[in-house]
Every structure is written in structure tokens, then in C-alpha cells.
Amino acid sequence: MAKEKKKAKKSSGTKKSVKKTKADKGSKYPKEPLFLDRNESQTGPVPEVYKFLKNVDMQLLSWYSRDFMQGIKSRLSKRIADDFGFDEKHVLLSYGSEDLLKQIIHCYVNPGDKILIPREAWWYYKKVASERGGTNVEYPMKKGTMDGIPYYLYDVDTMIQIYNDTKPKVVVIASPNNPTGNRIDSKDLKKFLDATKDTITMIDEAYWGFGSTENEYVKPYIDEYPNLIICRTFSKFFALAGFRIGFAFAGKNLDVLINFTTRYLGYNRVSEKLGEIALDNIKWYLKIGKQYEKDKEMMYRTFLNLKGFVPFKSYANFMLVDIPVDIRMGLKKYLDDRNLRIKFLDEDAFRTEARISLGTKEENKLLMDTIVKYCREINWK
């Protein structure tokens, strides 16, 4: 496998070049780049968000929050706490879930400490420990199938073994995981949390909502595991990435983190209100999520009918696909020339894969039609 990965990195793609045809120069391709590479929403938030923003008043922009006068940190954290049955103390707000990860590491990791992270994961997990002089220990995932489609799986027994051998200060689990799109099975998660009960464990649920909207486990887990923190964001499912709103549920042993995240002058008042609006309109977002599921099914079928392409089942707003080495760079150029941008990965764990962020129904179809068209033009069979 290692030799194949090295060869993949050196490959420059198919020798046969494909130029734009007259049809390509028509209106079906965007005039500006269509970015399907950063897991952002192309549909946007619920319409009520735009209505609110048109009427933002001077107080929201110029005055600090007065929520402390009601004995609470924030009306948004109080709303979330009430929805889940928590004391507000255990609900944290942040500048996106990325900020939560950084705060956890900066609170608890000292020089020489280890953090346990997935090998096949977001690159930032591998960087953040170094900000505090910590080091990474990685646990691998394994490949299998789910519903007849290739799928990454958490290997919990191996994770527990590595945990016992290395004794990390912090553990990170992403569910769903970026860029593989898989989530951890509930029984496997319980087994792992039982084994790591004395260690600070972060479950990154930034992509909650796309494959599942379950919430029933949150309070029981936080109550049972005092060193557990479950992180979420309004960036993905709720399409508010530009406002950077994250939140988390923290166990009773995490007072240092709870105090560290509390803000004396309050939080972004516009963002707080947008978070409330999003929570009030979850049914609207669920309709978008259903369309994503239909589009992913279409994409699975299409890729499985193309020689050498391997799509992986995803519970997020993106899909990982392994692309044949011989045409990978040629396909990238073909898409770039038509203003279609997807994420061609070039990392230790991913040398031949690309991650596709879902767009609208029309954008997803255009992308897939273009990939099929390229394969036909180069006679890829």
C-alpha cells in the first residue's frame, strides 16, 4: 500500500488532454468558481435569518449583552440547556467548533502530553497539539461496507489498545468524521467511553444533523462520563459558517474549561439570535437534509458505475471518493477549467482521494454529469 501511495503522488494524470468544447463555453458552467471543497452550505440558512438581518437595530450592534442581569451567561446557551435538560453551566459557546477544540487543548495539554486522534481525519486535529507542545498519537480506521457501499469503520478494540498503551491526556473522536463521512456506532462509542472514563474525551459532532438528528444520548452520556465534552456547531447543518457559532456540552469534571469559555462581556448578540432562529426552524433544515441524502444516493450509483472510482458512504454534507490514479490530475484540470472546485486531497492518509462538498440539487447533478463526460471523452472504460 505504501508503494502505491507514493506512485499516486508522482502521477501526473492521463496523457490525453481534453480541451473545452463549444458546448462547455455555454451557460451551464458557472462564470465564477463553484466551491464544493470546504463543506460549506450552497443552499444558505432558513429565510427567517435574512429577514432578521435586514432589521438588526442599534442595540444589538452597539450594546453589550445584559443577559447576566437574568442570571445567565447567554440566551442562546440557556435555550440549548433548556432544550436538553441541562444546567446552563454545562453548555459552552464558542467561535465555531474549531475554537472549542483549541480551547480544550490549551486548557488541558502541557508540553509532552499526548492527544489521541484519528489517523484519517481533519488536518487541524494533527496541528493543534503542537500549539501547546503536545504530541499526537493516531488510531487507524478500517475499511468495510455499509448498505453495500464502501465505508470507513471505527476499530474500537484497536483504539482502546492504543489508548491503554499511550495514556493520552485528551482523546478526540469525530462523528461524523471529516473527510471519511463515517460515524461511530453507539455500542462502540459506549464501549470506548467506558474504557476512557478518566480521560478528557471530545466528541466532535460538527456534522450532526445530516445523517442523524438524534439527541437522546447527549444528557445521559454527559451525566455518566464527567470528563466528556460533546461539540457541535451552527456552521454546517444550520448553514451559518460565516457567523462562527459553536456550542458544547461539558461534563462535571471540566470546570477549568467551563470557566475558560465564559465571557464577562457576553457573546456576539447577532450570532446568538441567529442560533435561536435556526433552532426554531429545524424542520426547514431537515428538508434540505433529505435532498442531500437523495443526491448522495445518485452520486454513489454514478461513481460505482465508473471504472476504478470508489465512493464512501457518508453521514455528512460531503462525500469521499477514491479516484483512479491515471486520471486523477486530468480530472482535476478538467473540473478547474469549468469552474468546478472539489477538494483533491494530498495527505499521508489520502493520496488518491477527493472530498466533494454537496451543493444544490442542480450543482450536484452538474458536477456528476461533468465527471461522467470527462471519462467518456478520454475513453475511460
Give the per-residue pLDDT at 12.
Answer: 40
Question: What CA–CA distance (Å, rounded) separates 341 from 335?
Answer: 7
Q: Give CA 366 to chain center in angstroms.
A: 23
pLDDT of 92 higher than 60: yes
pLDDT band at 174, cuts 50/70/90?
Answer: very high
HSE-up of 275 (CA within 13 Å, CB side)? 26
Give the pLDDT score at 14: 45
pLDDT in tens, 36-74: 999 999 999 999 999 999 999 999 999 999 999 999 999
Buried b (16+ CB within 10 A) or exposed e, 310-349: bbbbbbbbbbbbbbbbbbbebbbebbeebebbbbbbeeeb
Model pLDDT, residue 1: 44
pLDDT band at 26 (very low <50, low <70, confident <90, very high): low
pLDDT band at 25 (very low <50, low <70, confident <90, very high): low
Among 359, 373, 376, which Cα is nearest to 317's? 359
- What cell does 226 get? 464527567
* Backbone phi and psi for residue 38, each to the nearest 5 degrees, phi listed first: -130, 15
Mean pLDDT taken over the chain = 93
Q: Mention every residue, 6+ apart, whose C-beta is less than 8 A from residue 125.
A: 101, 117, 118, 136, 172, 174
Computed from CA positions of residues 267, 270, 271, 273, in that sequence, does the dihedral angle turn out positive or negative? positive
Q: What is the mean pLDDT of residues 180-186?
A: 96
Residue 145 pLDDT > 90: yes
pLDDT at 17: 53
CB 237 within 8 Å of CB 207: yes
Residue 247 in this model has a pLDDT that exceeds 90: yes
Residue 324: pLDDT over 80: yes
In the sheet that 170-174 helps form, which strands lie side by side, from edge to edge? 91-94, 246-250, 228-233, 200-204, 170-174, 114-118, 135-139
Distance CA 364, CA 133 (A): 42
pLDDT value at 8 more than 80? no
Nearest one of 286, 306, 291, 296 to 371, comparing CA atoms: 306
pLDDT at residue number 47: 98
130 has a pLDDT exceeding 60: yes
Cα(200)–Cα(254) distance, integer angstroms = 8
